[in-house]
Amino acid sequence: MSLLHLQGVGKKFNGLTAVSDFNLSMESGELVGLIGPNGAGKTTVFNLITGVHKPTEGRIVFKGEDITGLRPDLITRRGIARTFQNIRLFSKLTALENVLVANHLRLRSSPVEAVIRLGRYRSEEREMIGYSRSLLEAVGLAHVAGEQAGSLPYGQQRRLEIARALATRPSLLLLDEPAAGMNPVEAQELMDFIRQIRQEFDLTILLIEHHMRVVMGICERILVLDYGVTIAQGSPADIQKDQNVISAYLGVETDA
Amino acid sequence: MRRQGLKPPGAFVRLSEAYRQQPSRWGPLLTTVIILCLVSFIHWAGGHLNPYQVRILNLIGINIGLGLSLNLINGFTGQFCLGHAGFMAVGAYTATLLMMPPAVKQMNFFMVPLVAPLRQVELPFLAALLLGGLLSALMGVFIGAPVLRLRGDYLAIATLGFSEIIRIVITNIRSVTNGALGLKGIPAYTDLWWSWGFALLTLVVVSRLIHSSYGLAFKAIREDEIAAEAMGVGLFRHKMLAFTLGAFIAGVGGGFLASLLTTIDPNMFRFTLTFEILLIVVLGGMGSITGTVIAATIVTVLKEVLRGVEAPMDLGFVSLPGIPGMRMVIFSLLLIVVVLFYREGIMGRRELSWGRVLGTRDKTPDRGADT
Ligand SMILES: Nc1ncnc2c1ncn2[C@@H]1O[C@H](COP(=O)(O)OP(=O)(O)O)[C@@H](O)[C@H]1O
Ligand SMILES: [Mg+2]
Segment B108-123 mean pLDDT: 88
User: How far is B243 from B137, CA to CA, in rounded Å?
Assistant: 8
The series of mean pLDDT values per 10 residues for chain A, 256 residues long, is 93 93 95 92 96 96 95 97 96 96 96 92 94 94 95 94 97 94 86 91 92 81 92 88 76 48
User: How far is B276 from B253, CA to CA, in rounded Å?
Assistant: 14
User: How far is A212 from A35, CA to CA, in rounded Å?
Assistant: 7
Q: Give domain status of residue B361, yes or no.
A: no
3-state percent helix, strand, coil for chain A, nearest multiple of 5: 40, 25, 35
Give the chain B residue nearest A51 (alpha carbons). Answer: B230
Q: Give domain status of residue B189, yes or no.
A: yes
Q: Please name which of B122, B114, B130, B107 lies closest in space to residue B177, comparing C-alpha atoms.
A: B114
Is residue B262 classed exposed, middle or buried when 0-12, 13-18 and 19+ CB atoms within 10 A define those classes?
Answer: middle
Output the CA A138–ligand 2 centroid distance in Å: 27
Q: How far from chain centre, in Å, is Cα B219?
A: 18
pLDDT for position A214: 77
Q: Give domain status of residue B137, yes or no.
A: yes
pLDDT for position B20: 42
Contacts of A74 (CB under 8 A, 6+ apart): A51, B234
Contact B205 A50 (CB under 8 A): no
Q: Give domain status of residue B149, yes or no.
A: yes
Strands A221-226 and A204-209: unpaired
> Sorting pLDDT into bands at 50, 70 and 90, what band is B370?
very low
Residue A76 near residue A166, CB atoms below 8 Å: no
Q: Is the pLDDT of residue B157 over 60?
A: yes
The answer to whether A21 contacts chain B (CB < 8 Å) is: no
Q: Give domain status of residue B328, yes or no.
A: no
Q: Give domain status of residue B30, yes or no.
A: no
Q: Which segment of B4-8, B182-186, B237-241, B243-247 scores lowest on mean pLDDT? A: B4-8
pLDDT for position A93: 95
Q: Give domain status of residue B280, yes or no.
A: no
Residue B287 near residue B370, CB atoms below 8 Å: yes
Residue B275 near residue B333, CB atoms below 8 Å: no
B201 contact residues in A (CB cutoff 8 A):
none
Q: Please name which of A144, A207, A196 lies closest in space to residue A172, comparing C-alpha atoms.
A: A207
Residue B209 near residue B256, CB atoms below 8 Å: no
pLDDT for position B354: 63
Domains of chain A by start residue, with CATH: 1-79+170-256 (3.40.50.300), 91-167 (no CATH)
**B126/chain A closest Cα distance in angstroms:** 20
Domain count, chain B: 1
**Calculated CA dihedral for residues A212, A216, A219, A221, nearest 10 degrees:** 80
User: How far is A185 from A194, CA to CA, in rounded Å?
Assistant: 14
The partner residues of A224 in beta bridges, in order of sequence, read A35, A232
Output the CA A215–ligand 1 centroid distance in Å: 22
Contacts of B127 (CB under 8 A, 6+ apart): B98
User: How far is B62 from B296, CA to CA, in rounded Å?
Assistant: 9
Domain that holds residue B126: 45-273
Q: Is A138 helix (H, G, I), strand (E, B) or coil?
A: helix
Neighbours of A108 (CB within 10 A): 8
User: How far is A89 from B218, CA to CA, in rounded Å?
Assistant: 15
Taking only Cα atoms into account, the Rg of chain B, rounded to an integer number of angstroms, comes to 23
Q: Give domain status of residue B329, yes or no.
A: no
ipTM exceeds 0.90: yes
**B5/chain A closest Cα distance in angstroms:** 5
pTM of structure? 0.89
Contacts of B317 (CB under 8 A, 6+ apart): none
Residues with CB under 6 A from ligand 1: A 13, 18, 36, 38-44
